[in-house]
Structure 1
Amino acid sequence: MDFFKTMERVTGVDLNDVQRKAVQCADGPLLLLASPGSGKTTTLNMKIGYLLLEKKIAPQRILAMTFSKAAARDMSERFERFFGTLTHERIHFSTIHSLAYQIVRQYFYKTGRQFRLIEGTKDMQWNKKIILRNLFTEKRKTQPTEDEMDELLTYISYVKNRMLEGERLKEAPCSLTDAAEILTRYEEFKRRDGVNVLLDFDDMLTYCYEILRDDEAIRTHYQQQFEYVLTDEGQDNSVIQHEIVRILAAPHNNLCIVADDDQSIFSWRGSDVEKLLEFPKVYPDAVVLTMAQNYRSTKEITDVADHFIKRNKKRYDKKMFTENGHGRPPIIHNMRRYTLQLNYVVEEIERTQDAGEIAVLYRNNTSAIRLVDALEKHQIPFYMKEVDVKFFRHFIIEDILNFMRLTFNDKRADILERIYPKMNAYIKKAQITQLLNKNDRTTSVFDQLATNVHAPYQEQALRKAKKKIRTLKDLPPKDAIQMIRHDLGYEKSLQRTAEHLKLNEDRLLGIVTQLEYIAEGLPDLTAFAKRLTRLEEIMRQSSEKRPGVVTLSTFHSAKGLEFDRVYMIDLVDGIIPAPDDIKEYKDGKEAKMEEAVRLFYVGMTRAKTRLELLTYEQNNEEKTAPSVFLDDVKAILQGEKVKDFDFKEPAIERKAVVTNKSYQQKKVARDIPEDAITERSDLHRGMEIEHHLYSKGYIKRINGNEIELVFEHYGTKQFMIDFCLQKGMLRRVGEV
């Protein structure tokens, strides 16, 4: 049969010339470079179908690996759609971790040894994070912060995925000076009884590689079993994953790697774009094909993105193009203040007819907090591609809440114990110990301390601290946070912490600023505490994909997705590119800056017809500068030559990029339907209504200024009645 004609008839898929070449290039090593929106998943599936139907290769002889379980499911579903009626043969799509687990399990069974997984299980006794937390505490005599735990976990994963040992451990980026020592203790702990070896996910790869390298019988078994090896998202593979694939593919070397060096954005996880660039050197007889036709985006978006990524030097030379129609060019919005950026995005979502075709993208998860706060206040549902609620567990939030708890009861020595080093009251640890031993719950802790001051200046400091702490409860939450931050000395404490632990000071202070914005407009401290709980709750609930709702995602998590309209926010120097990207670039090291360029490119290429890039000149009291990447986009749009990055001037003094100021303080109201309910008297219990975002439902309860509605697909929701009436969000449908 003519394979391609049959595929077009059965599946409706008509491959272009390069895709057909890739499908037919079955024997020998092939690197298939796939630009965004070029149909790589379809092509890879067609290649597997070609091996089965044309080459008559048995399915068990084909190893098809993807980066994640979700990608494996997607590949399997597409294969079923394409070939379900043509063959009864089925391919098992696996992740490299699942294959590694199979090989490790076989080896341990063969050698009569035992192993226990300490990651991805519910076993609290043998848990990777708990083990590392205990080892950290044992080493430093203090509990690690969430940031320190994240950095330690990232460091360990990076070291193993980059295959770093000995002196090369210094190559791993980490601000924890004793990370290597904790890693050594961790490895010793996992092997301490000599019988039950403890393994985390990264160990699976390490053991798998060592087994394939050293155990000839197991290596030969898998090399003979798999005659053809295909991997997707090759740019995301770490160094050790590349090595595992190399061994498995030998000696046939019928290896197909589908990848895009321009979308390699996970170096912090151990991936290395150099491995792709070296492919023709490792396999001198390799075929390198480029699928450069973009089926996703308009010509304007495709052209800008293609010109932008050409700034990078370490990449394959290729030109992405599209035969799609023309559309509007990407727009750069330069807002005067951060809040205007937020307002613009919210109002754009409110005005749309299909929020499901909108994505709001950002580099860091912290950018999502205020966005989520604004969307929830405007009663706009959303889906988060990657839910990260570590923000609400951060030590800074716990500190702020403890200051607030103390204002309601300043007799709590246990609360003061948690925050006394972080306020300017000159309190010593010995004094706190005395307070705790005394256990006097009837007198202010500040009055108790005043009876035994260790220096004359402490008496005055204690009086001021007591007065300010008691004042907090009568202040609006935003003012209270600012008093904690400035008057009680918390900001200076954070600066000392950042310097001592080598943490990012701007990031720490930025969390306090986030809290100030969340607190804005709330009536009291209790409402603020409840608001934090509520935000965490709705973020957790937003992890389930629902039709018709806007998607929020980091640039990293958005890879592989596409949307009609994309808004990229917080595009300022210090976020993208990040401070470390800029610092290393100034020092003549371009690797991090090139990855930041690739990350920006990934964000741009998610858009099909509309791409808007948002920046601002001021965030709270802090001056900011638009990302230098926007200078590139502006130059490309104006047909000018892209210049080298220039960070000689302080970022806050560099002239801002302005290409579109269509939105500053202008408010665009959503059109209110003529049949919208605008009078409170028209609402009553049991009434069937239609919400402009949640569709049909009915009124379950009316209590004061709150209304509780039950929707067919979204369950029970609570709203402010006045807001619904003013915005015309409800329409009458009938009676229940």
Structure 2
Amino acid sequence: VAREYVLQPYRDSVKLQIDYEAELNDAQRTAVTALPGPALVIAGAGSGKTRTLTYRVAYLLEQGVPADRILLLTFTNKAAKEMMGRVADLIGHDMSDLWGGTFHSIGHRVLRRHAEDLGFDRSFTIQDREDTKGLINACIAEAEIDVKATRFPKPEVVADMGSLAGNKQMDVREVIEGRFPWFEHLVPQIEGVIQRYAERKRAQGLMDFDDLLVLWLKLLKEHEEVRELYQKRFQFVLVDEYQDTNQLQAELIDLLGERYKNVMVVGDDSQSIYSWRGANYENIIEFPDRYPGAKVYKIETNYRSTPEILNLANAAIAANTRQFAKELSASRGPGEKPVLAVCSAAGEQAAFVAQRALELREEGMELNDMAVLYRSHFHALELQLEFTRRNIPFSITSGLRFFEQAHIKDVTSYLKWLANPRDEQAFKRLVLMLPGVGGKTAFKLWGQFLAAHTDTTPQAETLQKCAAVPKKAKVPWAQ
């Protein structure tokens, strides 16, 4: 009977370059130097979670684990870049072989390599939310749904329904019954629109952000050779912010770590705040059940907050019925007690914040050292008006992301369409910028272009075959 035989490279005893005892506290060091096997690291707020994960990667590399056998999954590009850079600094050489990034970026990387297995071309393009909204709107129109008569949900709401269904691994009907019960009578029509949307994406060589995870999981589940390839490759799987994973992401982690079981997840069950977008804190609670024999490490020294803030946090956390018990302790000295100010209206709240900022400035604190956090961007309006009225300089850091700005989307639409001529939303965005072209004309032009397009015909040549170009647009169309 044939069996797999793994050659173990010979090497002398490990000489560690990093002084882990000096760099880490006892709890961090215990987690960083843990033996192989499943591990859950409960890292309280401000306890050096990122530091622990970074040093764990460095420790594995110093133990002789090849960089390309390690998978590091994070939730933000900033966190991934920071960790990869820090590891490179610690180890002293390039870390390009290390597979590190967000779930979506790693999914994108895998799908580019194996797109053909799912019926896609490797040159598929990725839609943002605005493109998704446009394509779903087209699907609603194609289905001839009277949105006013039926009070059909808006395209962005339909997108949210499909997104939740994918990320929670549920049927669309279940999502609507649980989250959008007022649309239950429209379930068949909504399911039909979402099905049309999926078909259009495939036909046009498009994926949205959810597809980067949904199709990655589909690829691993349905293609054994691909699944085995990545299970063999990733000897160690490390995950940041595990409390924010959803059902789909948890399944991806379990599949990728199935062979070696060297899965280390880091998170804090008390900081799970993304259930509204599908995150399931049960993933972190049930980790020891899904991985029998898993070690649980707790890091409870907080380097960020004063004892007064931690006392408040500990008191709030104590009420949680399901949790990993922890008691955060501060390394900083005492400070002011947190304050709860009850205001009766948004204007009164803005006035309080502005007045308090001026008082703190009078006490010697720089305005640059103050920050105002709000739940949604529309809450900033009253604050901006109040700050302006009192001549308090300020800068807003939230709002539209760079690639969501209209002029940037105009430029990237050219690039998207050149890379993928079947991208309907990119094509229509371009032609709608031309004089005399409206929605109906853009639809006709797209149909004519699609009918004439072949993979061997240059796009410029195909464009000349479109007869629906208005007179006003003849010159820019030719250009």
Query: Cα–Cα, structure 1 residues 15 and 143, in superposed 2: closer, same or farther, change >3 Å?
Result: farther
Return the offset for 1:342. Answer: 1.6
Return the offset for 1:256. Answer: 0.8
Map Cα deviations across residues 218-253 of structure 1 (whole Å, 9 max, x no partner).
001111111011111111111101101110111101
Inter-partner Cα distance in structure 1 for 2:65 and 2:162: 40
Return the offset for 1:179. Answer: 6.0
Return the offset for 1:100. Answer: 1.4
Structure 1 contact 230–256 (Cα < 8 Å) conserved: yes
| Higher relative helix content | 2
Asked if 1:152 corresponds to 2:165, the answer is: no
Return the offset for 1:355. Answer: 2.5
Query: Cα–Cα, structure 1 residues 339 and 183, in superposed 2: closer, same or farther, change >3 Å?
Result: same
Q: 2:331 maps to which residue?
A: 323
Residue among 394, 399, 404 paired with 1:387: 399
Map Cα deviations across residues 27-75 of structure 1 (whole Å, 9 max, x no partner).
111111111100010111110110011x111101111111121221222
Q: Secondary structure at the match of 1:31?
A: strand
Return the offset for 1:258. Answer: 0.8
Inter-partner Cα distance in structure 1 for 2:243 and 2:320: 16
Inter-partner Cα distance in structure 2 for 1:337 and 1:193: 45
Residue among 131, 138, 146 paired with 2:135: 131
Query: Cα–Cα, structure 1 residues 16 and 231, in superposed 2: closer, same or farther, change >3 Å?
Result: same
Inter-partner Cα distance in structure 2 for 1:248 and 1:285: 18
Amino acid at match of 1:260: D
Query: Cα–Cα, structure 1 residues 297 and 144, in superposed 2: closer, same or farther, change >3 Å?
Result: farther
Inter-partner Cα distance in structure 2 for 1:381 and 1:146: 44
Further displaced range: 264-273 or 176-185: 176-185
Structure number with larger C-alpha Rg? 1
Map Cα deviations across residues 496-532 of structure 1 (whole Å, 9 max, x no partner).
xxxxxxxxxxxxxxxxxxxxxxxxxxxxxxxxxxxxx
Amino acid at match of 1:341: Q
Structure 1 contact 136–144 (Cα < 8 Å) conserved: no
Map Cα deviations across residues 335-356 of structure 1 (whole Å, 9 max, x no partner).
4654333222112323423233
Q: 1:540 maps to which residue?
A: none
Inter-partner Cα distance in structure 1 for 2:270 and 2:35: 25
Q: 1:107 maps to which residue?
A: 114
Asked if 1:67 corresponds to 2:80, the answer is: no
Query: Cα–Cα, structure 1 residues 141 and 112, in superposed 2: closer, same or farther, change >3 Å?
Result: closer
Return the offset for 1:112. Answer: 6.1
Structure 1 contact 114–196 (Cα < 8 Å) conserved: no
Inter-partner Cα distance in structure 2 for 1:50 and 1:242: 25
Asked if 1:39 corresponds to 2:45, the answer is: no
Structure 2 contact 346–382 (Cα < 8 Å) conserved: no
Return the offset for 1:325. Answer: 1.2
Structure 1 contact 119–128 (Cα < 8 Å) conserved: yes
- Within 5 Å, give how 1:212-291 maps onto structure 2: 212-291=220-299
Structure 2 contact 288–294 (Cα < 8 Å) conserved: yes
Return the offset for 1:261. Answer: 1.0
Structure 1 contact 4–14 (Cα < 8 Å) conserved: no
Amino acid at match of 1:370: E
Query: Cα–Cα, structure 1 residues 147 and 74, in superposed 2: closer, same or farther, change >3 Å?
Result: farther
Inter-partner Cα distance in structure 2 for 1:21 and 1:103: 33
Q: 1:14 maps to which residue?
A: 23
Inter-partner Cα distance in structure 2 for 1:330 and 1:143: 51
Map Cα deviations across residues 584-611 of structure 1 (whole Å, 9 max, x no partner).
xxxxxxxxxxxxxxxxxxxxxxxxxxxx
Further displaced range: 111-120 or 73-82: 111-120
Structure 2 contact 173–187 (Cα < 8 Å) conserved: no
Return the offset for 1:308. Answer: 0.8
Structure 1 contact 365–388 (Cα < 8 Å) conserved: no
Amino acid at match of 1:76: M
Amino acid at match of 1:20: R
Inter-partner Cα distance in structure 1 for 2:294 and 2:357: 48
Residue among 313, 318, 321 paired with 2:321: 313
Q: 1:374 maps to which residue?
A: 386
Amino acid at match of 1:363: R
Query: Cα–Cα, structure 1 residues 341 and 196, in superposed 2: closer, same or farther, change >3 Å?
Result: closer
Query: Cα–Cα, structure 1 residues 336 and 266, in superposed 2: closer, same or farther, change >3 Å?
Result: closer
Q: Secondary structure at the match of 1:366?
A: helix
Inter-partner Cα distance in structure 1 for 2:201 and 2:166: 22
Give structure 1 stretches of 5+ with no counterpart: 390-736
Amino acid at match of 1:261: D
Query: Cα–Cα, structure 1 residues 208 and 144, in superposed 2: closer, same or farther, change >3 Å?
Result: farther
Q: 2:32 maps to which residue?
A: 23
Return the offset for 1:312. Answer: 1.8
Structure 1 contact 191–198 (Cα < 8 Å) conserved: no
Residue among 91, 94, 100 paired with 1:93: 100
Structure 2 contact 247–279 (Cα < 8 Å) conserved: yes
Q: Secondary structure at the match of 2:327?
A: coil
Return the offset for 1:110. Answer: 4.4
Amino acid at match of 2:19: T
Further displaced range: 211-220 or 96-105: 96-105
Map Cα deviations across residues 96-116 of structure 1 (whole Å, 9 max, x no partner).
112212222333234664374
Inter-partner Cα distance in structure 1 for 2:285 and 2:64: 32
Asked if 1:207 corresponds to 2:215, the answer is: yes
Inter-partner Cα distance in structure 2 for 1:332 and 1:372: 22
Q: Secondary structure at the match of 1:38?
A: coil
Return the offset for 1:172. Answer: 4.1
Residue among 331, 334, 341 paired with 2:349: 341
Map Cα deviations across residues 310-350 of structure 1 (whole Å, 9 max, x no partner).
21212222111113211121122234654333222112323
Return the offset for 1:16. Answer: 1.2
The structure with higher relative contact order (CA 8 Å, sep 6+) is: 2
Query: Cα–Cα, structure 1 residues 132 and 88, in superposed 2: closer, same or farther, change >3 Å?
Result: closer
TM-score scaled by structure 1? 0.48
Inter-partner Cα distance in structure 2 for 1:43 and 1:184: 47
Structure 1 contact 32–257 (Cα < 8 Å) conserved: yes
Query: Cα–Cα, structure 1 residues 332 and 295, in superposed 2: closer, same or farther, change >3 Å?
Result: same
Inter-partner Cα distance in structure 2 for 1:187 and 1:48: 42
Q: Secondary structure at the match of 1:256?
A: strand
Return the offset for 1:388. Answer: 5.6
Query: Cα–Cα, structure 1 residues 146 and 288, in superposed 2: closer, same or farther, change >3 Å?
Result: farther
- Within 5 Å, give how 1:583-662 maps onto structure 2: none
Amino acid at match of 1:128: T
| Higher relative strand content | 1
Aligned length: 378
Inter-partner Cα distance in structure 1 for 2:187 and 2:377: 24
Give structure 2 stretches of 5+ with no counterpart: 1-13, 402-479
Query: Cα–Cα, structure 1 residues 308 and 166, in superposed 2: closer, same or farther, change >3 Å?
Result: closer
Asked if 1:355 corresponds to 2:361, the answer is: no
Return the offset for 1:198. Answer: 3.4
